[in-house]
């Protein structure tokens, strides 16, 4: 069986988010980390495959090259349609990368136009009259105005995207979307005749995204956030609901955290408050040459095998600032990634079969260290946070990769079913 739909996501945790959306829509979905090559295997019988790239803030030519390589690989696996997943807050700069990547994907397949919609109503991202809202405010009045990498000071999507492409950009307004699938298809045809290449659509509710998905089913390239991906997924006939993947339930359980986001810090506090074993990894000591990993592994060996353990570099904003001031941001990040990657590898070697990882960059370091290129997406523990089924040299691994800010405060204990384990 071949793929029905392929997807490139412009960052790692965006990949997890969109993969979970396809799965919610009833598609058996694989998630692939980084640009795949001829040797990258897909789990059997997938309907959808998401290639998670790091192309949001890289130079546009690199983002284009990686996205095209992913598109070719997805075509090769049988996908007739490729979804380009970007952030629901349209994170980009005046040079890209949303415009250049979408244009390259369209050029590669000779498609005249594409549909965009970054709305994600469950997360408060809606588009009305072409303006992107974050909850009750325009994007440009939201905290995203001060984003450290991509400050978003305009909310008008036609204007934002026009700055990133030489082609014509236009809008399908909410009044048209409310009239249904045929009305949107007619509007797309009219825009194509008028020479428009990028059509932005309004969407305020999930139903709007279902209408857009059905109208966009025949387009070779569609773009937006996880919401439109789910709408598109619903438009594909499936063999029925995807059954839960059989995930390992035996073997030890562990959490590795490198995110310093407020939500991850709450999740760590909740885990500790439940009386479960947790160890803070001293990044400055590791940088100074102390055997922090050796000590962590000795600590791990001394814990009860029946309880999940947590090892975290994650720390308070104050300590994070102090460590970054001492080591520099890049060196601090390299230390954390090296430490957590090596610990992950040792834990799986010594019998961990359920592993939860907190942090986008941290997840990248852990999957790389474990040599995991592709996973099958399973049930979500929280919105956008699915369990996945990975295969390692030691056999099956239940792996959860979460973006720092995702998941409820009790995610770690709930996902690892602590009551049963304890
Ligand atoms: P998120 O998803 O919250 O952004 P990431 O894993 O992507 O999480 O990023 C967390 C960042 O914080 C990484 O760059 C990591 O290196 C850094 N970090 C984590 N713990 C520490 C620490 N104790 N000292 C310095 N930097 C740290």
Residues 1, 43: contact at Cβ < 8 Å?
A: no
Q: What does the alpha-carbon distance between residue 254 and residue 274 come to, in Å, rounded to a whole number?
A: 15
Is residue 313 within 6 Å of ligand 1 at its C-beta?
A: yes
Closest CA relative to residue 102, chosen from 164, 194, 153, 179: 164
Last residue of a domain, one of 235, 261, 293: 235
User: Within a domain: residue 154?
Assistant: yes
In the predicted model, what is the mean pLDDT of residues 329-353? Answer: 95
Q: How much is the pLDDT for 94?
A: 83
Other Cβ atoms within 10 Å of 359 Cβ, number:
28
Same domain, 115 and 76: yes
Domain that holds residue 230: 5-235
Number of domains in the chain: 2
Q: How much is the pLDDT for 421?
A: 39
* pLDDT tens string 13-45: 899 999 999 999 999 999 999 999 988 989 888
Q: What does the alpha-carbon distance between residue 220 and residue 227 come to, in Å, rounded to a whole number?
A: 18
Query: Which numbered atom of ligand 1 lies nearest the CA of 333?
Result: 16
The predicted model scores a pTM of 0.92
Query: Which numbered atom of ligand 1 lies nearest the CA of 362?
Result: 6
User: Within a domain: residue 246?
Assistant: no
Query: Which residue has the least CA distance to atom 14 on ligand 1?
Result: 333
Q: How much is the pLDDT for 152?
A: 87
Same domain, 259 and 215: no
Beta strands in 111-178 (DSSP E): 114-117, 125-128, 131-134, 137-138, 168-172
101: CATH: 3.40.50.10840
Is residue 118 within 6 Å of ligand 1 at its C-beta?
A: no
Last residue of a domain, one of 235, 267, 297: 235
User: Within a domain: residue 184?
Assistant: yes
Same domain, 189 and 300: no
Is residue 333 within 6 Å of ligand 1 at its C-beta?
A: yes
Q: What does the alpha-carbon distance between residue 107 and residue 357 come to, in Å, rounded to a whole number?
A: 37
In the predicted model, what is the mean pLDDT of residues 200-219? Answer: 98
Is residue 108 within 6 Å of ligand 1 at its C-beta?
A: no
Query: Which residue has the least CA distance to atom 26 on ligand 1?
Result: 332
Query: Which numbered atom of ligand 1 lies nearest the CA of 314?
Result: 20
Same domain, 203 and 325: no
Same domain, 120 and 206: yes
CA 334 / ligand 1 centre spacing (Å)? 10
Same domain, 187 and 299: no
* pLDDT tens string 246-297: 777 778 999 999 999 999 999 999 999 999 999 999 999 999 999 999 999 9
Other Cβ atoms within 10 Å of 133 Cβ, number:
18
**Pocket perturbation via mutation, ligand 1, pick of 255, 259, 327 by most ligand atoms within 8 A of CB:** 259
224: left (phi over 0), alpha (psi -120 to 50) or beta: left
Same domain, 329 and 259: yes
**Pocket perturbation via mutation, ligand 1, pick of 359, 367, 406 by most ligand atoms within 8 A of CB:** 359
Same domain, 86 and 54: yes
């Amino acid at each position: 069986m071949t793929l029905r739909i392929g997807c490139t996501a412009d960052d790692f945790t965006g990949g997890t988010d969109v993969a979970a959306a396809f799965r919610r829509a009833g598609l058996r979905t694989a998630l692939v980390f980084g640009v795949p090559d001829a040797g990258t295997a897909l789990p059997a019988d997938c309907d959808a495959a998401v290639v998670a790239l790091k192309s949001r803030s890289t130079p546009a030519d690199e983002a284009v090259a990686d996205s095209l390589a992913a598109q070719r690989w997805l075509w090769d696996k049988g996908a007739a349609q490729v979804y380009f997943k970007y952030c629901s807050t349209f994170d980009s700069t005046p040079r890209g990368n949303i415009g250049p990547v979408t244009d390259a994907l369209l050029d590669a397949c000779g498609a005249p136009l594409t549909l965009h919609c970054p709305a994600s109503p469950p997360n408060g991202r809606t588009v009305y009259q072409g303006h992107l809202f974050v909850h009750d405010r325009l994007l440009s009045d939201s905290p995203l105005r001060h984003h450290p990498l991509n400050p978003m000071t305009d909310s008008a999507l036609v204007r934002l995207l026009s700055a990133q492409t030489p082609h014509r950009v236009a809008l399908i307004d909410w009044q048209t979307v409310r009239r249904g699938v045929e009305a949107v298809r007619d509007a797309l045809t009219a825009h194509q005749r008028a020479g428009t290449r990028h059509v932005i659509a309004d969407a305020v509710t999930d139903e709007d995204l279902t209408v857009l998905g059905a109208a966009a089913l025949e387009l070779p390239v569609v773009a937006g956030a996880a919401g439109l991906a789910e709408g598109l997924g619903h438009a594909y006939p499936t063999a029925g609901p995807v059954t839960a993947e059989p995930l390992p339930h035996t073997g030890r359980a562990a959490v590795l955290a490198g995110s310093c986001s407020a939500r991850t810090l709450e999740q760590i506090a909740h885990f500790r408050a439940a009386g479960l074993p947790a160890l803070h990894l001293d990044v400055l000591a590791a940088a100074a040459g102390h055997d922090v990993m050796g000590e962590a592994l000795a600590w791990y060996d001394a814990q009860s095998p029946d309880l999940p353990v947590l090892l975290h570099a994650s720390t308070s904003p104050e300590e994070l600032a102090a460590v970054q001031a001492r080591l520099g941001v890049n060196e601090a990040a390299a230390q954390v990634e090296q430490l957590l990657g090596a610990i992950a590898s040792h834990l799986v070697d010594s019998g961990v079969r359920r592993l939860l990882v907190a942090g986008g960059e941290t997840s990248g370091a852990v999957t790389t260290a474990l040599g995991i290129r592709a996973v099958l997406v399973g049930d979500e523990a929280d919105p956008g946070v699915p369990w996945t089924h990975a295969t390692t040299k030691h056999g099956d691994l239940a792996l959860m990769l979460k973006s720092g800010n995702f998941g409820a405060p009790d995610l770690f204990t709930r996902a690892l079913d602590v009551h049963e384990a304890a």
